[in-house]
Structure 1
Amino acid sequence: MKGNRAELNRFLVEVFDEILKTEEESLAGSFSDLSLRELHLIEEVCRAEDEARDNRATAIAAAQRVTAGTLTTAVSLLERKGYLERRRDERDRRAVRIWPTEKARAADQVHAAFHREMVDEILKTLSDQEAQVLVRALGSLTAFFREKYEA
């Protein structure tokens, strides 16, 4: 058990680091003006629109676990780069909604392709039963992180 604990810890640290590095490298070829953090913000804005979720600045900030000020700074930069647009809500002029541009959609598609390729690579080596066990284990890991954040 102790050996498994150390090996699993090392694996998680290395995999997390490797995913971030590889994700950054895959992005650099097509969208070198974006950081990974900016890309994840774009992804959140695209997902909010695609899933008809709340795309107000406050909701996006909460989903990204950043302050309103941090989000404002990031969105301003991404607006200047042509990736996001801010618009006042038609019904509630106090609310600001954030929308992706076509340029943002293109970056999000490159990012999504990276994730699809990563998942496909994992799944091709696992049986259905092994994939179910992995999904259950990663679900527990996700719950752990969410619990830590909400605490």
Structure 2
Amino acid sequence: MDQHREELNRFLVEVFHDILKTEELALSSSKKELSLRELHLIEEVCRAEDQGLDNRATAIAAAQRVTAGTLTTAVSLLERKGYLIRCRDEHDKRVVRILPTEKARQANRAHERFHEEMVENLLSFLTQEEAQVFVRALGRVSLFFREKMFSACAEAEAEA
């Protein structure tokens, strides 16, 4: 069993690193002015608008798991680069909404194509049954990491 633990640990570390590195390389060939973190923020803002989700700064910060200050800094930079805009809510001027520009939409579409290619490639060499088992197993792995993250966040808040 220890051999499986070592293999699984190495696999998780390597796959996580490889996905991020590949995503960075794909990004650098198309949108050199954006970091991966910035692109993921753009992705979140586009998703909020497209799906009718809360696009207030506080909601976007929570979805990205960053502080309001960190989000403000990132949005300011992306505003200067022409990717995001901030606007006051029509009904409640205290509320700041974050919206993507057309430039952000283009970057997000390119990023979506990368993800589609990644998934299609992976599914191309799995049978339907293997894909079902794989997705179910990854769902459990994802749940584990979410629980760990929320537990760590709760501990950090309790210490503050």
**SS of match in other structure, 2:17:** helix
TM-score, scaled relative to structure 2 = 0.92
Gap regions ≥5 residues in structure 1: none
**What CA distance in whole angstroms lies between the structure 2 residues aligned with 1:94 and 1:142?**
36
Instruction: Give how far 1:46 is off.
Output: 0.5
Specify the SS of the correspondent of 1:98.
strand
1:97 to partner: Cα distance = 0.3
Identity among equivalent pairs (%): 70
Deviation >3 Å, runs of 4+: none
Distance 1:131 1:71 in 2: 36
Structure 1 residues 11-70: Cα deviation after superposition (integer angstroms, max 9, x where no partner): 111111011111011111111000000000000000111110000000000000000000
Provide the C-alpha distance between the structure 1 equivalents of 2:48 and 2:39, rounded to a whole number of angstroms.
14
The answer for the alignment partner of 1:13 in structure 2 is 13
Q: Which has the higher contact order (CA 8 A, sep 6+)?
A: 1
Unaligned runs of 5+ in 2: 152-160
Q: Secondary structure at the match of 1:93?
A: coil
* 1:145 is aligned to 2:145: yes
| Corresponding position of 1:46 | 46
User: Which residue identity lines up with residue 130 of structure 1 in the other structure?
Assistant: E
Aligned residue-pair number: 151
Q: 1:144 Cα deviation (Å)?
A: 1.0
TM-score after normalising by structure 1 = 0.98
Q: Aligned to 1:87, what secondary structure does the other structure show?
A: strand
Query: 1:129 Cα shift?
Result: 0.8
